[in-house]
């Protein structure tokens, strides 16, 4: 799989311990996104009070018990490169193999992550942008055009994800960090995780068509149209807080919550064998990869485009039912590296506007 390069400098882990740095391609255990970050970006501000000295490589000591900390969307940070406007748009195309440095704001980082664009034969494009709301908050959005379902180069298939534009909170790799650990609390050992909740609201639209669909015996289309993408929140668990990806990956588990499915695609693996009911009453089908042990996806039976997720609730369920789900048992010594909002895109044209997004940590 070819690697798309994404420019960004390594944001120092000095405030949170020293993580390992690598320039080798990185790969997600589920979909293989693997941008590299190399262009300079100004270090993000620390938004929380100073914390105690480092207690584990790559992590930082938690704040005092009883503390409640929330994510921030300001200020917008400099990309460090006049070619890339601080607010975007920052776009990627077939002619470019660079995603750009991403857009940093508050203690978040949004990146294009068009990691599998080489599979498409379309004249595709994808752009990320930051938008200032009336209340002064900054909200991310992205738009894309990945062509029709059969716009594929020889040897590739329609079920392959093209990209995963994403908003990172925490550290995705040693070179993809939204802010210092003292600002996000991540990476953090599982044994020291706070109660995590995610309030969000998004809008989306998509269009597109399948070409060459023969239809049924009455010449009615047998497949839906309108493109295919999901909307999801996910986290990666690593064996230590000195996180690593790629050939030296120490990822132990990818946990996803699909807020909305596309027209057809579902998580890879077997059909769901379990249904989970959240505390708020939403129903989720549970998908795993039998025999792999490193992937767990909760797929909402109905779109949940706004609300508040108790992220800790899903982590607790994954821990309590690891045996039933046939996944790796989550250990206290593991590290939760990040919380990521994004959309896996297979084909079609559309946009996502994340109008509200706040992560709350209660210790």
Q: Over the stretch 270-321, which tens digit does the pLDDT of each residue have?
A: 678 899 999 999 999 999 988 889 999 999 999 999 999 999 999 999 999 9
Q: What is the helix, strand, coil percentage profile of the chain, to 5? A: 10, 35, 55
- 27-70 per-position pLDDT tens digit: 344 443 333 333 333 333 333 333 223 334 478 999 999 999 99
C-alpha span between 347 and 213 (Å, rounded): 15
- 165-211 per-position pLDDT tens digit: 999 999 998 889 999 999 999 999 999 999 999 999 999 998 876 65
C-alpha span between 294 and 253 (Å, rounded): 4
* Domains of the chain, start order: 14-362 (2.60.120.180)
Whether the pTM exceeds 0.75: the reply is yes
Q: Is the peptide bond before 360 cis (omega within 30 degrees of 0)?
A: no
Sign of CA dihedral 336, 337, 338, 342: negative
C-alpha span between 198 and 338 (Å, rounded): 13
Structure-token pair, residue 256: 């996803």
The string over 196-224, giving b where at least 16 C-beta atoms fall within 10 Å of a residue's C-beta and e elsewhere, is bbbebebebebebbbeeeeeeeeeeeeee
Strands 251-260 and 295-300: parallel
What percentage of residues in the chain have a pLDDT greater than 70? Answer: 79
- 305-361 per-position pLDDT tens digit: 999 999 999 999 999 999 999 999 999 999 999 999 999 999 999 999 999 999 999
- 198-256 per-position pLDDT tens digit: 999 999 998 876 655 544 444 444 455 678 999 999 999 999 999 999 889 999 999 99
Answer for the pair 255, 246: CB distance below 8 angstroms, yes or no.
no
Question: Where does the pLDDT of residue 25 fall: very low under 50, low under 70, confident under 90, or very high at 90 and above?
Answer: very low
Structure-token pair, residue 263: 């027209």
Secondary structure letter of residue 5 according to DSSP: B
Q: Residue 289: its pLDDT value, please?
A: 87
CA-to-CA separations, 87 to 65, 128, 138, in angstroms, rounded: 36, 9, 9
Indicate if the pLDDT at residue 80 is higher than 70. yes
3-state secondary structure of 184: helix
Structure-token pair, residue 47: 């938004």
Indicate if the pLDDT at residue 23 is higher than 90. no
- 90-141 per-position pLDDT tens digit: 999 998 867 889 999 999 999 999 999 999 999 999 999 999 999 999 999 9
Q: Residue 209: its pLDDT value, please?
A: 66
Q: Residue 224: its pLDDT value, please?
A: 56
C-alpha span between 145 and 124 (Å, rounded): 5
3-state secondary structure of 190: helix
Q: Residue 353: its pLDDT value, please?
A: 99
């Amino acid at each position: 799989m070819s690697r798309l390069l994404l420019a960004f400098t390594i944001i120092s882990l000095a405030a949170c311990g020293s993580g390992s740095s690598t320039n080798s391609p990185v790969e997600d255990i589920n979909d293989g996104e693997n941008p590299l970050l190399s262009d300079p970006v100004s270090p993000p501000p620390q938004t929380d009070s100073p914390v105690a000295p480092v207690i584990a490589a790559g992590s930082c000591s938690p704040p005092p018990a009883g503390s409640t900390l929330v994510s921030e969307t300001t200020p917008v940070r400099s990309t460090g490169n006049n070619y890339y406007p601080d607010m975007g748009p920052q776009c990627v195309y077939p002619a470019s193999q660079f995603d750009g440095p991403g857009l940093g704001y508050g203690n978040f980082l949004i990146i294009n992550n068009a990691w599998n664009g080489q599979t498409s034969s379309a004249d595709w494009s994808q752009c990320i942008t930051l938008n200032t709301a009336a209340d002064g908050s900054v909200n991310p959005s992205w738009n894309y055009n990945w062509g029709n379902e059969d716009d594929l180069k020889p040897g590739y298939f329609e079920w392959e994800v093209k990209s995963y534009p994403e908003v990172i909170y925490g550290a995705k790799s040693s070179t993809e960090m939204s802010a210092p650990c003292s600002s996000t609390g991540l990476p953090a050992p599982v044994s020291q995780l706070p109660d995590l909740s995610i309030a969000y609201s998004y809008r989306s639209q998509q269009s597109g068509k399948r070409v060459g669909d023969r239809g049924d015996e009455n010449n009615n289309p047998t497949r839906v149209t309108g493109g295919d993408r999901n909307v999801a929140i996910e986290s990666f668990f690593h064996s230590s807080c000195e996180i690593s990806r790629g050939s030296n990956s120490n990822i132990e588990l990818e946990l996803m919550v699909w807020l909305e499915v596309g027209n057809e695609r579902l998580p890879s693996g077997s059909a769901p064998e379990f249904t989970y009911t959240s505390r708020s009453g939403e129903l989720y089908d549970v998908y795993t990869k039998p025999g792999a042990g490193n992937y767990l996806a909760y797929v909402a039976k109905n779109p949940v485009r706004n609300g508040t997720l108790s992220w800790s609730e899903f982590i607790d369920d994954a821990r309590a039912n690891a045996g039933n789900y046939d996944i790796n048992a989550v250990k206290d010594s593991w590290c939760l590296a990040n919380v990521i909002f994004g959309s896996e895109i297979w084909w079609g044209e559309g946009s996502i506007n994340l109008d509200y997004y706040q992560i709350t940590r209660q210790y």
